[in-house]
Structure 1
């Protein structure tokens, strides 16, 4: 589950139980990435707020499947299989085309992003994701100009940036604490974008 002690749903109480009740899925299942925060519930609260607002909020203009696609790519680049598996299944559900989803994943895994069934604008966002995830100190204003030239407005660029930044955080949480998928229900997410306070995984 993880390399540090965690508190199960059954053993939780107080604020931790309240947070578990907000994020749990079927049969009181809490994803291991959230369980890894159990010794410091306030950090779980911050993590979930960031996750929900970056990926599952009606204020976003970009389609949710594409934000998940960026997350899968960043997680693959960072070597975080946990997040790849969870968010690929979320992306697959949203794309609703298994062949297309599998082709996107194949392009990610082979490093041939240009071959993915994505349009030129989406490919540009993926290129920005790779640069920011792997070499953040190299970023320059020209990277933003390239996204504008591809057709993104500045609000959409901010969405892309925040999704990449969130996944780098989540990947390092998982990798640094040894979080694995044992016992998780893969692919659940807080999909009720209309309610920012609804964190339930469905």
Structure 2
């Protein structure tokens, strides 16, 4: 198993326990919260990203990319994309 394979396996199991740089962990914490409980996001969540080294452009990009993936996955799920005919 390569290092990339090991990291991918760690991330699938639990991103909070994966061997990641602080900035990557902050980004993943942010997008998981955005995905699972967007209504609970606060200014503090954005400040954590800034504290990890992300500027306004980085925060915006992280937010838009995560939001887009959440949106497009929900559209695909609603339309049954990739699901076998029942």
User: Which TM-score tier does this pair reach, normalised by the shorter chain?
Assistant: 0.7 to 0.9
Instruction: Name which structure has the greater RCO, CA cutoff 8 Å, separation 6+.
Output: 1
Which runs of 5 or more structure 1 residues have no equivalent in the other structure? 1-97, 183-202
1:119 paired residue among 9, 21, 38: 21
Shift of 1:108: 2.5
- Cα RMSD for the two superposed structures: 2.0
Separation (CA, whole Å) in 1 of partners of 2:3 and 2:46: 28
Q: Is the 8 A contact 1:107 1:113 kept in 2?
A: no
Of structures 1 and 2, the larger Rg is shown by: 1
Name segments (4+ residues, structure 1) moved above 4 Å: none
Say whether 1:158 aligns with 2:60. Answer: yes
Per-residue CA distance 1:17-67 (angstroms, 9 max, x = gap): xxxxxxxxxxxxxxxxxxxxxxxxxxxxxxxxxxxxxxxxxxxxxxxxxxx
**What secondary structure, in the 3-state scheme, does the structure 2 residue paired with 1:179 have?**
coil
The normalised TM-score by structure 2 is 0.84
Greater share of helix: 2
Q: Could you tell me which runs of 5 or more consecutive residues in structure 2 were left unpaired when the two chains were aligned.
A: none
